[in-house]
């Protein structure tokens, strides 16, 4: 292989410096993070804008050079974990990018721990393993995949699970959950629910089969059993008085949280029911406010658009569903679990026992999600040019003073790590 071109941002002349970390090491344990990374990003952005002139000057000085095989080897030797986004890094649409299987095999042969981090919550982690296999990439294990659905489920578990953990086992959630999303998200959330508790929402995929959207009927959903019976009713012991063929009410379901992700069957009925869940029981209904916690609002991610097909046509992402519910409820999510927020990093570091984020290299094709996430988590960051964004986007970020979007370095593709032929 010929040597490949690297592009090094002027704000990080020292190759592996990472001045935009939002984590704080705490002893020898898992790093501590800011609770509100978005606010931190906003603060950093505001501060950076004050130096727009100097940033623009640096942007004009940006240079490219060819990385030698020795430099690639040095980079590889300096990290333990390689964190990879999927679409635009490993594959594009249905097609695996050139030399990716060989690159993954080579990284593993070098002893690198590969983890796949994606905001796609419509597919479960097990589903992603099957997708890798169908596309000719063997050896990927479920525990190597971290998607925003898995992160949302674990965040839900940390918010709601009662009791104490036994050894390494986390306590399960003993409540039902309303989910706006596809089967993969339901699958991940169900894994953290105690036996007999369910996710609900798939039942509303086809509003017409539910009798259509009648606002006067839906408005009574807390008091009357006007919603379809739970699909999991046969194994459910936690829907009070409901679950038969006659349907259920929201009081029967008694949801502890609303989890929202990309939903290809999103409709007014789902939106209205999710809103009613967040509003809580009507005042006329008796409820013990001392023992009934609020209904949490958890988002898998806020991506407004997703690229589809070989041409990368942009279509609505999960952010559209999250924004719709935020707008009608007047509430922001209690947690956003996908990139660029650091919930996924917290989970990754805890699961893997990572104490130094600088041992991790985050590789992605988007500045606003992958690079911003890696920077916020304190990882090293790489932008590859096989996906959504390119050098012009980096220059624009520099000129705007958006230092939190700037990668530590840029490569043409992930295959840069393959040794010279």
Q: Tell me, what's the pLDDT at 148? A: 98
The pLDDT, as a whole number, for residue 372 is 97
- Alpha-carbon torsion (37, 142, 87, 179), positive or negative: negative
Cα separation, 236 vs 162, in Å, equals: 19
**Checking DSSP bridges between strand 255-260 and strand 313-316, what pairing results, if any?**
unpaired
Counting Cα atoms < 13 Å in the Cβ hemisphere of 374 gives 32
Cβ atoms of 382 and 366 within 8 Å: the answer is no
Torsion of the alpha carbons at 209, 248, 260 and 152, rounded to the nearest 10: -130
Concatenate the DSSP letters of all residues of 279-338 into one string. H-S-TTS---TTT-PPPEEEES---SEEEETTTTEEEE-HHHHHHHHHHHHT---SEE-S
Q: Quick check: 397 and 367 in contact, CB under 8 A? A: yes
Find all residues with CB under 8 Å of 80, minimum gap 6, and list them: 112, 113, 359, 360
Count CB-CB contacts under 10 A for residue 281.
18
Q: What CATH number belongs to 63-119+340-417?
A: 3.40.50.1000
What pLDDT was estimated at residue 311?
Answer: 72
* Euclidean distance between CA atoms 38 and 372, whole angstroms: 10
pLDDT of 128: 98
pTM beyond 0.75: yes
The answer to whether the 63-119+340-417 and 150-162+174-281+294-336 domains have the same CATH topology is: yes
Superfamily in which the 150-162+174-281+294-336 domain is placed by CATH: HAD superfamily/HAD-like (3.40.50.1000)
Please report the pLDDT score of residue 19 as a whole number.
32
The whole-number pLDDT of residue 162 equals: 62
What is the structure's pLDDT at 67? 52
Separation of alpha carbons 169 and 152, rounded Å: 18
Q: Tell me the C-alpha to C-alpha distance, in Å, between residue 416 and each of 64, 111, 242, 297.
A: 15, 17, 57, 41
User: How far apart, in Å, do the first and last CA atoms of the chain sit?
Assistant: 4
Q: For the chain (length 421 residues), average pLDDT per consecutive 10? A: 37 30 41 47 39 38 46 84 97 93 97 98 98 97 98 95 60 96 98 95 94 94 95 62 71 97 98 97 65 84 85 88 98 97 95 96 95 96 90 93 91 90 74
Mind giving me the DSSP string for 347-368? Answer: HHHHHHT---GGGEEEEES-II
Distance, in Å, from the CA atom of 12 to the CA atom of 358, rounded to the nearest integer, reads 14
In this structure, how many other beta carbons lie within 10 angstroms of the beta carbon of residue 14? 9
pLDDT the model gives residue 237:
54
Cβ(28)–Cβ(349) below 8 Å: no
Q: Residue ranges of the domains in the chain?
A: 63-119+340-417, 150-162+174-281+294-336
């Amino acid at each position: 292989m010929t040597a490949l071109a690297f592009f090094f941002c002027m704000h990080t002349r020292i190759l592996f410096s990472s001045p935009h970390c939002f984590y704080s090491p705490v002893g020898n344990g898992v790093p501590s993070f800011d609770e509100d990374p978005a606010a931190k990003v906003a603060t950093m952005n505001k501060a950076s804008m004050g130096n727009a002139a100097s940033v623009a000057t640096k942007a004009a000085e940006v240079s490219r050079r060819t990385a030698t095989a020795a430099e690639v080897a040095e980079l590889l030797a300096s990290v333990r974990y390689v964190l990879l986004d999927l679409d635009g890094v490993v594959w594009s649409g249905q097609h695996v990018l050139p030399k990716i299987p060989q690159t993954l095999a080579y990284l593993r042969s070098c002893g690198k721990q590969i983890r796949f981090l994606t905001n796609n919550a419509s597919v479960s982690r097990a589903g992603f393993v099957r997708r890798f296999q169908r596309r000719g990439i063997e050896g990927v294990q479920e525990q190597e995949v971290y998607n925003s659905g898995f992160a949302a489920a674990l965040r839900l578990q940390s918010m709601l699970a009662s009791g104490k953990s036994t050894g390494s086992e986390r306590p399960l959630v003993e409540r039902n959950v309303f989910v706006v999303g596809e089967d993969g998200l339901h699958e991940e959330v169900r894994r953290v629910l105690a036996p007999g508790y369910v996710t609900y929402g798939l039942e509303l995929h086809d509003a017409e089969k539910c009798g259509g959207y009648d606002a006067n009927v839906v408005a009574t959903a807390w008091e009357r059993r006007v919603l379809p019976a739970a699909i999991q009713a046969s194994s459910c012991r936690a829907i009070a008085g409901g679950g038969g063929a006659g349907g259920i009410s929201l009081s029967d379901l008694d949801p502890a949280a609303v989890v929202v992700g990309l939903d290809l069957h999103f409709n007014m009925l789902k939106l209205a029911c999710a809103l009613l869940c967040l509003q809580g029981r009507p005042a006329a209904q008796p409820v013990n406010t001392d023992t009934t916690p609020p209904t949490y609002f958890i988002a898998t991610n806020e991506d407004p658009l997703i690229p589809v097909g070989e041409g990368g046509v942009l279509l609505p992402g999960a952010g559209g569903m999250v924004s719709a519910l935020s707008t009608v409820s007047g509430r922001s999510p209690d947690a956003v679990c996908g990139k660029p927020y650091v919930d996924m990093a917290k989970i990754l570091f805890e699961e893997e026992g990572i104490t130094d984020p600088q041992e991790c290299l985050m590789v992605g094709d988007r500045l606003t999600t992958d690079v911003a996430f890696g920077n916020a988590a304190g990882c090293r960051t790489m932008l590859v040019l096989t996906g959504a964004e390119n050098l012009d986007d980096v220059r624009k970020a520099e000129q705007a003073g958006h230092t939190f979007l700037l990668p530590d370095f840029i490569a043409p593709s992930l295959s840069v790590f393959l040794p010279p032929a």
